[in-house]
Chains A and B, each alone.
Chain A
Amino acid sequence: MADNQKAVGVSVPRIEAREKVLGRSVYVDDLRREGMIWGKVVRSPHPRARIVHVDVTEARGLPGVVAVLTAADVPGDRYVGPLVKDQPILCSSSVRFEGDAVALVAATAEEVAETARDAVRVEYEILEPVLDPIAAMSPEAPQVQAGGNVASYSKLRRGDVEVGFRAADVIVEDSFSTQMIDHAYLEPEGAVAEVDAEGKVTIWVCSQYPHYDRQEVARVLGVSLARVRVIQTTTGGGFGGKFGSPLVSCYAALLAARTGRPAKVLYTREESLRTTVKRHPYRIHYKVGATRSGKLTAVEARFVGDTGAYLVVGRAVVGKSTSHGAGPYEVPHVKMDGYAVYTNKAPAGAMRGYGVPQVAVAYESLLDELARKLNLDPIEFRLKNVLREGSQTATGQTLLHSVGVAETLERAADARREMTPHLKTGKPYLKRGIGVGVSWHGIGAARSPSQATAYVNLCGDGSATVLCGSVDIGQGSNTLFSQIAAEELGVPLDQISVVTGDTLTTPDCEATTATRVTYLSGNAVRLAAEKAKGTALELAAKHFGCLPEHLILARGKVQVPDAALEISLTDLFKKHAVQQISALGVFSPDCTPLDPETGQGSPHATYGFGTHVALVEVDQETGAVRLVDYAAFNDVGKAINPQAVEGQIEGAVAMGTGYALSEGMIFDRGKILNPSFATYLLLTAADLPPVRVGLVEAPEPTGPYGAKGVGEPSMNPVAAAVINAIYDAVGVRIRELPAVPETVFAALKTRQPLPADR
């Protein structure tokens, strides 16, 4: 990078791109250790049952089998979970979903381990499963967990919705339901564990949070944290699914600790789809009121998130729905009631959007309904209500900076204008429509305190190493850290090495989740690099006899601008007997937690916003919906690597369109029928148009170079935009995701008279 060129704000290829393209990146599946054994998990075929007896005799006797473990063999704590320790490593008395783990086997070959798995005989007393989350809330329902089926209740109370609805000229009200979907990352979950001569355990795992995996492994093994090292392998996607479910690490660690041999546990795709965490299905009811002039007066909502058999992060997901359920709008009176409810299904956990995509579908649908009743343009109507600088959110937080949502709407209006000539199809049964979805997402987890930490080691030649606990799961954070350090230290990108995701060498930065890495960890890296640079400049200031702020550091040299004076870091370090400069950067965002009774507070230091525009074509005779054109406008504060931001947004549109149109776990009495990519319908390149991405940069003063983040804000409005476009095309409101042909067709059958032909 030339001296006049910046590293931040420039599209750069991923630093690991070459390795990945050449097939040299090491994923869990690539790992082989001398004497390695293979672990397989014995899983319940029943959604709810009492375990009567587990007979491992036959499995233990098979040649090549080295271990068969049940709950009694777990040396430490037997339950894990990020919020509540409610998920058994191995079930001992009862199973709570189809796929719950009952025993663990290991053998010298994977095929033998499979045979042994199938040879474990488990006798069950089958019980009637609890499947409907609403029915589960009844006190008479069988209890999935001992504490009752209502796992959490979160509230938001702002103003008085009765007053708000009295002030409304128009009120709309409707119910919605959303489905369970999977993250469907290319790489399923897996881990390899090894015990060294001192008895210390090392685990290699594809993970969003190695330090959390370490905590749980240490608890389960009953050893101290210092005796467990977790190293993140190249991770083929996470989207929330590789956070908060440390079971695969625990299984590999248990087997390695038990046998003294390296152990590998790699989930099959079926196992991943059937048993790992999912996006919460929601039942949602909303009521929204507005005045004749188009000002929102009140929003009232009640939603139930089906968290499945275990809580994982269900309480926080539903909490995020509550704090975000009024949308990025000024609403004086808001009442939200959110419940996370246990059922006998695969546990729902974190998934990109974290409770916001579900409620965004509902409130954005109703805003369109209101706009129509008020005879207002949907974008104009939203512009009358969106948050602006100085606005208060539904949680009572005043937003002072970086509120770019109005600009995303204005850009969306331009995109809609460009799409309008393409509304004609030439066939009477094909109708096209344009829909808009607006959403927001608080950056970072909704709590306080939260912190990110990074070290920068500046070497004598100007190059530097960054150590940070935040892991890259494919979204590009390692490249971002390089860019930030390169920017601060005035060196080309290839002069920065980034080390992340090793609990032995990197600080705990919390998880790569919650759209937090750019903002929190990016800040930590920037602060550390700035501090390292500051120390170097102080040394040089002594050398030149000037003030450090008059100096610049570039390409390994400290220079006095406009003078021919410079000194290399090498000489400077030698002179002061310095080997390298190490600096620590710590960043903690300014938040206040939500009041549990009112849901009021400032849960996030800043928010990402987006408006998306979808042009869809609906076949009125078949119910088939095709996405024809798409434009996405996201306020990211500052795009540190614009190309990576565009990639994030394009991926979000693919994921969100699948959520809107095709994806969903299909259940029969609690059993998943489609745990396969042949039958779980992810959309393909053939289903998606090119996505037009527009970046809005309303700088966040506390963000690194103004940056906020984009992972989740880009996901949240997609389904809402698509569903609103379907209405615009054919005049039916889809209230149940996904909008597969049968659902759309059923809605078309109940439609009022056809809208006039375009």
Chain B
Amino acid sequence: MKSFVNVNPKSLDEAVAVLDRARAQGKKAALAGGGSDLLGMLKDHLVQPDLVVNLKSISGLEGVHREGERVRIGALTTLDEIARHPLLVERYAALAQAAGLAASPQIRNVGTLGGNVNQRPWCHYFRQGFPCFKNGGKMCYAVAGENQFHALFGGGPAFIVHPSDTAPALVALEAEFKVMGPSGAKIIPAEKYFILPREDVLRENVLGENEILAEVILPAAPSGLRSTYLKIRDRQAWDHAIVSIGAALEWEGGRCRKARLVLGGVAPIPWRVPNAERLLEGKSLGEALARQVAEAALAGAQPLAKNGYKVPLAKATVRRAVLSLLPAA
């Protein structure tokens, strides 16, 4: 591991100033929340920052707070707290479930919401330091390599999948991200936060080098909202999704008023499937419609040589997710 300077800012403004100064000086800075992913990346020489900005020294970045009908969640709130929080479990089940299915109990005890959302890809080639696009190189080794875990949608030039469990849930719940930068705070809808490799192959989101994800804001949960997060993985702890879905359906009089379906593990960003959502809207749900929705969700998938199994697997996941959200009779 390369030596670095650890900075303990006392406020977000100070942290942003540190980042801004580092950028101006051509130094690399990394943000540490829980540190569970950063530490591994440091040890593996995947990131070699000159400074590490320790966000834990800033007070007020943790916790789940009600604000009127909205809920604000500090970026440093642990995944475990989110998974257990009664308000989230009740009203924003998809997020609580996603947090509870992320990583392992030990990692959930220290890992934060911000860290989970901003987690770097877990592509084998990227993590092994291959000179791939994500590591600043000029190819994606997965294209002709071991691509069983790679993207079905939105791939190219890199075919990574976004590793976060909470991100698809947050997009499905129409969350907003509060980002602090040199010119103050800005609010970005979760859906606009993540970017495809073809926009910038070195990043998975819009966060600038001098910006910090400070807070996640959940809008008022409308009456009739039901949401869930389903995750398929090779082992039942400490594993990323092969396929997952964050699903949020709003019901009114037995009909779906609005649907948000967001797939995880299939694209470089949380992958919303509007065509599938539209099939649900205005309808009452049954097995047949659920199958149509699943088909629509996977329409246009472009499997690589070894990840075709994800298509039917994702269809089953979509179908089960929407059926599990049938309104209470």
A residues adjacent to B (C-beta < 8 A): 111, 270, 429, 619, 621-624, 626, 662, 666-669, 671, 673-676, 678-679, 681-687, 740-742, 745-746
Contacts and interface: CB of A to CB of B under 8 A. Distances in A.
A679 B127 contact: yes
30 contacts: A111-B1, A619-B316, A621-B312, A621-B315, A621-B316, A622-B243, A622-B313, A624-B232, A662-B234, A662-B235, A666-B124, A668-B124, A668-B125, A668-B141, A671-B128, A674-B124, A678-B122, A678-B238, A679-B122, A679-B127, A681-B235, A682-B235, A683-B235, A684-B238, A685-B237, A687-B236, A687-B237, A741-B242, A745-B313, A746-B309
B40 interface: yes
Nearest to B236: A686
B236 A741 contact: no
Nearest to B141: A668
Contacts of A685: 237
Contacts of A666: 124, 146
Nearest to B128: A673
Contacts of B1: 111
A678 B146 CA distance: 17
Interface string B105-149: 000000000000000001011011000000000000100011010
Nearest to A683: B235
Contact of A741 (B44, B104, B125, B234): B234
Contacts of B104: 684
Contacts of A745: 309, 312-313
B265 to A, nearest CB: 12
A669 B146 CA distance: 10
Interface residue tally on B, bucketed by range: 20 to 34
Given A668-B145, A678-B122, A684 B236 contact: yes
Given A429-B316, A621-B313, A668-B125, 10 more contacts: A622-B243, A622-B317, A662-B234, A666-B124, A678-B40, A684-B236, A684-B237, A741-B309, A742-B309, A745-B313
Most buried by B among A429, A622, A669: A622
B28 interface: no
Contacts, number: 74
Contacts of B236: 626, 684, 686-687
Interface in B148-198: 148
Interface in B313-328: 313, 315-317
Contacts of B309: 623, 741-742, 745-746
The A contact surface, by secondary structure, is loop
A525 to B, nearest CB: 40
Interface in B284-329: 306-307, 309, 312-313, 315-317
Contacts of A673: 124-125, 128, 146
B150 to A, nearest CB: 12
A317 B236 CA distance: 33
A436 B312 CA distance: 30
A623 B313 contact: yes
A682 to B, nearest CB: 8
A682 B133 CA distance: 29
Contacts of A741: 232, 234, 242, 309, 313
Nearest to A429: B316
B127 A676 contact: yes
Most buried by A among B1, B234, B312: B234
Contacts of A669: 145
Contact of B232 (A622, A679, A687, A746): A622
B90 interface: no
Interface in B228-255: 232, 234-239, 242-243
Which 10 A-B residue pairings sit nearest by Cβ, starting from the closest?
A621-B316, A673-B124, A686-B236, A742-B309, A686-B237, A684-B237, A745-B309, A622-B313, A668-B145, A687-B236
A742 B146 contact: no
A741 B127 CA distance: 23
B295 to A, nearest CB: 14
A746 B306 CA distance: 11
A12 to B, nearest CB: 32
Contact of A742 (B44, B145, B306): B306
Contact of A740 (B125, B127, B141, B234): B234
Contacts of B237: 684-687
B78 to A, nearest CB: 19
A746 B146 CA distance: 16
A340 to B, nearest CB: 26
A678 B121 CA distance: 13
B293 to A, nearest CB: 15
A751 to B, nearest CB: 13
Contacts of B306: 742
Contacts of A679: 122, 124, 127
A681 B125 contact: no
Nearest to A668: B145
Contacts of A429: 316
A683 B317 CA distance: 23
Contacts of B148: 742
